[in-house]
Structure 1
Amino acid sequence: MSQESSSYQKLHKPSSSFESRDDYLNHELQIISPKRWRLNLPGKDYRVEWEDFIPGMAATIGKIVMVAAVVGAFAAPLGLSPEFVIENVRFELLIAAVLFVVLISGFLNPSANLAGTHGPLLPLVPLMVASGGHPMALGLLIGLFGFILGITKGGSILAKLTSNGVCGGLLLYLGFIGITGQVKKLFAWAESFDMAYLAFVVIIATILMYAWLEHIQKRWLAIPLGAVMAAVIALAFGAPFEFTTSPGMPNLNPAYWWGEDTGWQLGLPDWSHFIAVMPFAVLAVAMWSPDFLGHQVFQKLSYPKKSERAHMNIDDTMIAASSRQAVGSLLGGGNISSSWGTYIIPASIARRPIPGGALVTGLLCVIAAIWGYPMDLAIWPPVLCVALVVGVFLPLMEAGMQMTREGKTTQSAALVVISSVVVNPVFGWSLTMLLDNIGLVGCKDRAIELGKAGRWLIPGVTFIVLCTVMALIGMFPGVPALMETFRL
């Protein structure tokens, strides 16, 4: 019986039958065959291993931080309190864990990556609120547009049209910008209590730790070891820290969150709210393709050969993220959904498929939401910054470097980086994809093989639509927003 037609149970072997743990983990990736939108069960279709706690911990830390950032960005211009932000974050953790992380990625479709938070859209949240946007209206439109893109396989089409040079340049840019941002936050935190040298000590210790883990080929330990190391160093130097979030359950009533005088204090959205957030919703979904592609590519670079069935399906991930967005917004959450990068990147490094870690992530999110205290530790700057640097941004840079080592990929990569610096990653990705596919840069032979639709039609339409949306909301430097100019 061929491997393709055999069940996971028949192909599974105990770890003791392999020469090394790495061989066992590679074998698990090669034999898993997740069923799409059908029931998958632990023990029968996959296993939960202790390595799954690595991405589970990273994902939980990242989730608390990112949702707090998004909800806080909505809450600040609306005049809502920090207590509201904490309450909504705890509610979002339960929504993500119970309804989607465990249900979809753990049981119904392990080919779909966990639905996380859309970090790149964070800077635009205050502009949405100022434009008359409503969190529920934004969430429902993102859910609708993302679902349409997913079921039409538009996400995977755009991913296939993105060359290694374009994708590698995007990963390099995102990795570098992420690292510099976290380093600045760490220094700002240390300077706030006149101990700037503490940030320097933590960063140097992190570099040495990461180099040592790379040397012994245990890089997947970087997140838990780095977080513990940063916390111990900071406490040893006398950095201020205290637990403030007590155990409890958030309000689970949607009517409370969307009341006129409770929760968001906005009531239900009307048509004007949907019109105000439409450009932002289009841009949010357009940003999914390069984001999802980067996550899938990282799996391809980290997993062994013949493990294609363990890779995330871009279109299924879009459907899962869209569903999570729409349901979460209806219930009262303020999260903006995307592929869960702080999960899939550590999972790839640890060489684990999606479903086992999904169950662990769901459990840890529920514990954090109800217990409360872990939320304080997860968002403490030394723990947060080090975890994101070693678990997400450094690996992104490494993957980008790997993808730009051969051929003429460096031309496209350089253009992605410079155009992303000038405007943003969405502009850099869409412009360079168009230039690369029509053959102006990169590999000319690849451009010839794409056909008319792949060479200029799809990339051209994508670039024009995205530029129109960005012009409407004022994302081009020095150019006023067309929405304000024409009072749309």
Structure 2
Amino acid sequence: MTDNKAKSSYLSDRKPRSDFATRREYLEHELQTMAPRRWRPNLPFRDYHFEWEDLVPAMAATIGKVVMVAAIVAAFAAPLGLSKEFITENVRFEMIIAAVLFVILVSGFLNPTSNLAGTHGPLIPMIPLIVVSGGHPMALGIMVGVLGFILGITKGGSLLAKLTSNGVCGGLLLYLGFIGITSQISHLFSWAETFDKGYIAFVVVAMTIVMYAWLEHVQMRWLAIPLGSVLAAIVALMLGAPFEFVTEPGIPNMNPAYWWGENTGWQLGLPDVYSFMAVAPFAILAVAMWSPDFLGHQVFQRLNYPDKTDRVIMNIDDTMVTASTRQVVGTVLGGGNIASSWGTYIVPASIAKRPIAAGAVLTGILCIITALLGYPMDLAVWPPVLSVALMVGVFLPLLEAGMQMTRKGKTTESAGIVIFASALVNPVFGWSLTVLLDNLGLIGCKERGKELGHMGRWIIPGIVFVILCAVMLAIGMFPGIPPMVEAFRVD
């Protein structure tokens, strides 16, 4: 079949719901029939249809978006002393940018095999360290975007995935998941104790555990974010937690000069050379973590989609290009989000057996409505809703994925070392050191390193480790060692 025939097959091969015995068969046939046009216009009803199942990932993604971007911005804002109102306005700003320019335009119309550009959840625990190290949100966003774009166009994502073993990935996920969960539980108790009702935090977390276990049992974990958020809100309100809607409908400030002013927005001005040096190791790690994350999303699709659906499976390199472009544009305009593949969208979409495009359009519309209304933002950033959504939507899945990746083969050695080294310095150091040791065959599977060749075994990991250590030493990330390049800071 020629490419043109393949691209036009959807309308001719598609069958109505009445031709199938079950809804599942109909949805699977839709997936098998679709033929998305890569970086060309894809139109509703010509290249795909809308189904009520598309609302499931759209709602989950919208809730996840508010929560995740709020968590990223709040993690930056807290050590910078910025207000809650700033966080809310920046989140609204980010949601409009993402929805209009990338969610609807790219994933909905131009390239439906590019997953939505979401938020880099695993990076959240490291943001306070980034700020303390002198990092600047704009510097971090630009570096992540540039590095990610280079990876996408050179197809480097598959290379990084190949060089990072399951043991290293699993250990890193375990570390980030554990510190993320413990920090959110701590934040939740700190919030409840401000009005002398610490038991609210205990009850909310305890009921969340039961809810998550039940969802695992009935194989409906994709409902964890929306159901967990609703449960947390209801329980907290019933136990007397204070809450009020304060964000009125409106349009956030769309002027980049406001967001990057010295006395307005982030109140940081533009980044200097030191700011870029401070974020360099974190930017490298953030992009390095894209590969296993993106691969995991793609594998999740393949596990839930029927056979003969390769044409609608997400393209990792295209998703990297989209996420990188969205990162640079959003950052330059004033947003604080750190982009990645949108897990809170692709997971429920895969389970619901729906392609990327239709749900992407609905997600974008819901994000715009939420941002303009304002009131839903207050609920999404309310501590019990925010913390529970992060725990069940990001950190607990990280723990589970980490344990899953360390179950087979000689992976526990590498996982233990990466956790040990991360606790000593930070996850950047832990990841780079363990990749080098693992690929050299000193730990983990001894045979694996022999298959990588000299470049993959020690040259590339060695260069990355030396560069990262030099940068971390220069900005004072090693405990007990003062920064070596304080002179680069521009006052």
CA contact (8 A) 1:54 1:224 kept: no
Q: Which residue number corresponds to residue 200 of structure 2?
A: 198
SS of corresponding position for 1:113? coil
The 5 A counterparts of 1:337-356 are 337-348=339-350, 350=352, 352-356=354-358
Moved more, 405-414 or 42-51: 42-51
In structure 2, the residue matched to 1:143 is 145
Structure 2 counterparts to residues 282-361 of structure 1, below 5 A: 283-301=282-300, 302-304=303-305, 306=307, 309-348=311-350, 350=352, 352-361=354-363
2:255 to 250, 253, 256: 253
Tell me the amino acid that sits aligned with residue 208 of structure 1. V
Bigger mean CA deviation after superposition, 24-33 or 58-67:
24-33
1:380 partnered with 2:379: no
1:64 aligns with 2:66: yes
Equivalent residue pairs, number: 485
What's the CA shift string for 1:24-73, capped at 9, x where partnerless? 65665566554432223344444444444444334333433443444455
Matched, 1:185 2:184: no
Tell me the amino acid that sits aligned with residue 420 of structure 2: I
Task: Give how far 1:131 is off.
Answer: 7.5
Cα displacement (A) at 1:229: 1.6
Unaligned stretches of 5+ residues in structure 2: none
Q: Measure, in 1, the Cα distance between the counterparts of 2:414 and 2:346.
A: 26
Q: Does 1:241 align with 2:220?
A: no
CA distance in 2 between counterparts of 1:196 and 1:26 reads 48
Match of 2:117 in 1: 115
Measured after TM superposition, the shift of residue 372 of structure 1 is 0.3
Q: Which amino acid aligns with 1:288?
A: V
Cα distance in 2 between the residues matched to 1:437 and 1:33: 39
**Contact 1:295/1:345 (8 A) holds in 2:** no
Distance, in Å, in 2 between the alignment partners of 1:186 and 1:17 is 51
Residues 227 and 384 of structure 1 are in contact (CA less than 8 Å); yes or no, is this contact kept in structure 2?
Answer: yes
1:418/1:252 CA distance change after superposition, 3 Å:
same
The 1-side partners of 2:81 and 2:412 are apart by 47
Q: Distance in 2 between matches of 1:200 and 1:11?
A: 54
CA RMSD after TM alignment: 3.4
1:465 aligned residue = 467
- Counterpart pick for 1:446 among 416, 429, 448: 448
Deviation at 1:280, TM superposition (A): 0.9
Amino acid at match of 1:382: P
Asked whether the 8 Å contact 2:76–2:127 carries over to 1, the reply is yes
Aligned position for 1:40: 42
Offset, 1:8: 4.5
State the distance in 1 between where 2:46 and 2:63 align. 29
Residue type at the aligned position of 1:297 = G
Per-residue deviation, 1:299:
4.0
Look up the match of 2:234: 232
Alignment match, 2:209: 207
The CA distance in 2 between the partners of 1:207 and 1:291, in whole Å, is 28
After the TM superposition, which of the residue ranges 74-83 and 295-304 deviates more from structure 2? Answer: 74-83
Task: State the AA in 2 paired with 1:303.
Answer: N
Q: Tell me if structure 2 keeps the 8 A contact 1:412–1:436.
A: yes
Inter-CA distance 22–423: structure 2 relative to 1 (3 Å threshold) = farther
Structure 1 residues 174 and 380: CA distance shift in structure 2, 3 A: same
Q: Distance in 1 between matches of 2:47 and 2:418?
A: 40
Q: Distance in 2 between matches of 1:217 and 1:130?
A: 41
Which has the larger displacement, 444-453 or 332-341?
332-341
Q: Offset at 1:101?
A: 1.7
Counterpart residue number, 2:486:
484
Partner letter of residue 107 of structure 1? F
Contact 1:121–1:284 at 8 Å: present in 2 too?
Answer: no
What are the equivalent positions in structure 2 for 1:362-401 lying under 5 Å apart?
A: 362-401=364-403
Question: 2: distance between equivalents of 1:389 and 1:73?
Answer: 15
2:432 alignment counterpart:
430
- Give 3-state SS (helix, strand or coil) of 1:83's partner: helix
- Opposite residue 452 of structure 1, the aligned amino acid is H
Instruction: Write the letter of the residue equivalent to 1:360.
Output: L
2-side partners of 1:417 and 1:21: how far apart?
A: 45
Q: Secondary structure at the match of 1:198?
A: helix
Residue aligning to 1:94: 96
Q: Distance in 2 between matches of 1:305 and 1:425?
A: 37
Structure 1 residues 184, 41: CA separation in 2 closer, same or farther (over 3 Å shift)? farther
> CA 1:409/1:120 → structure 2, altered by over 3 Å: closer, same or farther?
closer
2-side partners of 1:110 and 1:310: how far apart?
8
Question: Distance between the aligned counterparts of 2:244 and 2:80, measured in 1?
Answer: 28
Identity within the alignment, %:
66
Aligned to 2:485, the other structure's residue is in SS state: helix
Query: What are the superposed Cα offsets for residues 217-271 of structure 1, whole Å, 9 maximum, x if unpaired?
Result: 222222222221221111111111110101011122334445566545566x4xx
Verify the 8 A CA contact 1:408 1:443 in the aligned structure 2: yes
CA distance in 2, matches of 1:90, 1:32: 33
Report the alpha carbon displacement of residue 285 of structure 1 after superposing the two structures with TM: 3.8
Q: 1:234 to 1:357 in 2, by over 3 A?
A: same
CA distance in 1, matches of 2:152, 2:53: 30
What TM-score, normalized by structure 1, do the two folds share? 0.86
